[in-house]
């Protein structure tokens, strides 16, 4: 057990966790909604510090982050647990593990030094805190991110965006990029399908942007749940008006998973419609994901429309940008983290 950050002590030995927007009030001996933070003796502890359930070397494009050191490798780690309970979760075996297996928390013992060392010897340029929600293993992510940054590595979260501003404040100096799932633009979707709320995600997104962290958005489009054109248009408008037209929007194809087995795979036509809605609203960079070989997996210059990064799935076939992200055809500096 590792002492948790961002909690308050309350009467009757209860604690209030302020790491994510559930703000769980946890009685003595109990855990928060994420299932990996426990009140022991009136103090909050992380049960997953250094208990790594997944550890892989991935292309950064897999996160997906398309404007962040393209073509580089990212050392990717996770613990079990999640603060959301999305019925379509693509990684439910690990994200929901404590819920599915009576609170059990498996994982291999690793230190921040082990992770940084692993990243360096495998030639990774960054560490990704991913697969499950990094907020719930925040203490380990923070210690690792500090060490990684001191050794010239970058840090990336792949997140549901449910962390609080206080959590962002703790890590913002070490966090260089984040991909946030914007799962829907309807409160009812978040409440029914994810057991969470939409509005804190929108606030956190705006705050991440204000903090100068590179942000990309992913929306998994589920037939009949969040594919209504008016909802997609509202989402695209939010991204443009609140986060900026330069914020990449990844439109991802849904495959039936976990408790959502009754929905079909997203038709390509739906993804294309969403793509054109985003374009009509003025977003510069829109990518259709989980559909290999489509022409929207490449990056085009928003000024001259020249093809500047050519991809095949998660792999870069050609990158014509210079070290500062400038287009070779017109000189426009594309937005992103390029070095
Ligand atoms: S991190 Fe876990 S314990 Fe803390 S508020 Fe979120 S769900 Fe509750």
CA of 135 to the centre of ligand 1 (A): 9
Which tokens in the block code for residue 10? Answer: 């309350």
In sequence order, what are the residues at sequence separation of 6 or more whose Cβ sits closer than 8 angstroms to the Cβ of residue 25? 10, 14, 15, 16
CA of 19 to the centre of ligand 1 (A): 6
Same domain, 115 and 173: yes
Same domain, 289 and 165: yes
For the chain, list residues with pLDDT below 70: none
* Ligand 1 binding pocket mutation candidate from 8, 20, 30 (most atoms within 8 A of CB): 20
Same domain, 177 and 124: yes
CA of 5 to the centre of ligand 1 (A): 11
Same domain, 134 and 198: yes
User: Given phi > 0 = left and psi -120 to 50 = alpha, else beta, which region is 286?
Assistant: beta
Same domain, 224 and 170: yes
Q: Which domain holds residue 320?
A: 304-339
In angstroms, the CA 58 to CA 66 distance is 13
In this structure, the residue with its CA closest to atom 6 of ligand 1 is: 20
Residue 213 confidence (pLDDT): 98
Residue 294 confidence (pLDDT): 85
Residue range 132-162, pLDDT digits in tens: 999 999 999 999 999 999 999 999 999 999 9
Same domain, 184 and 256: yes
CA of 13 to the centre of ligand 1 (A): 17
CA of 316 to the centre of ligand 1 (A): 37
Pocket of ligand 1 (CB under 6 A): 17, 19-20, 22-24, 32-34, 37, 83, 135-136
In angstroms, the CA 214 to CA 242 distance is 14
In sequence order, what are the residues at sequence separation of 6 or more whose Cβ sits closer than 8 angstroms to the Cβ of residue 246? 284, 285, 302, 335
Same domain, 172 and 283: yes
The ligand 1 atom at the shortest distance from the C-alpha of residue 4 is 4
In sequence order, what are the residues at sequence separation of 6 or more whose Cβ sits closer than 8 angstroms to the Cβ of residue 80? 36, 48, 51, 53, 94, 95, 97, 98, 105, 106, 107, 132
The ligand 1 atom at the shortest distance from the C-alpha of residue 6 is 4
Residue range 181-195, pLDDT digits in tens: 999 999 999 999 999
Residue 274 confidence (pLDDT): 98
Same domain, 21 and 99: no
CA of 57 to the centre of ligand 1 (A): 28
The ligand 1 atom at the shortest distance from the C-alpha of residue 18 is 5
**209: helix, strand or coil:** helix
């Amino acid at each position: 057990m590792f002492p948790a950050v961002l909690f308050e002590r309350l009467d009757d030995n209860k604690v209030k966790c302020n790491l994510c927007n559930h703000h769980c009030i946890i009685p003595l001996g109990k855990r928060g909604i994420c299932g990996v933070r426990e009140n022991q003796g009136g103090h909050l502890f992380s049960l997953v510090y250094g208990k790594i359930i997944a550890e892989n070397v991935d292309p950064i494009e897999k996160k997906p982050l398309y404007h962040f050191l393209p073509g580089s490798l990212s050392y990717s780690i996770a613990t079990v647990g999640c603060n959301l309970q999305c019925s379509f979760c693509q990684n439910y075996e690990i994200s929901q593990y404590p819920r599915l297996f009576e609170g059990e928390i498996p994982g291999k013992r690793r230190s921040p030094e082990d992770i940084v060392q692993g990243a360096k010897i495998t030639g990774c340029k960054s560490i990704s805190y991913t697969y499950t929600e990094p907020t719930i293993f925040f203490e380990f992510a923070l210690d690792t991110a500090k060490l990684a940054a001191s050794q010239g590595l970058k840090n990336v979260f792949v997140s549901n965006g449910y962390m609080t501003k206080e959590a962002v404040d703790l890590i913002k100096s070490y966090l260089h990029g984040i991909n946030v799932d914007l799962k829907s633009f309807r409160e009812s979707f978040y409440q029914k399908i994810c057991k969470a709320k939409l509005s804190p995600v929108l606030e956190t997104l705006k705050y991440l942007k204000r903090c100068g962290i590179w942000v990309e958005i992913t929306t998994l489009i589920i037939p009949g749940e969040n594919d209504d054109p008016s909802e997609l248009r509202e989402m695209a408008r939010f991204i443009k008006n609140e986060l900026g037209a330069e914020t990449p929007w990844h439109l991802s194809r849904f495959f039936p998973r976990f408790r959502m087995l009754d929905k079909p795979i997203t038709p390509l036509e739906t993804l294309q419609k969403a793509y054109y809605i985003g374009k009509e609203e003025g977003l510069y960079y829109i990518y259709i994901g989980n559909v290999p070989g489509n022409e929207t997996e490449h990056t085009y210059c928003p000024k001259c429309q020249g093809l500047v990064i050519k991809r095949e799935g998660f792999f870069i076939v050609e990158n014509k940008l210079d070290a500062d992200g400038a287009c070779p055809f017109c000189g426009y500096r594309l937005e992103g983290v390029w070095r």
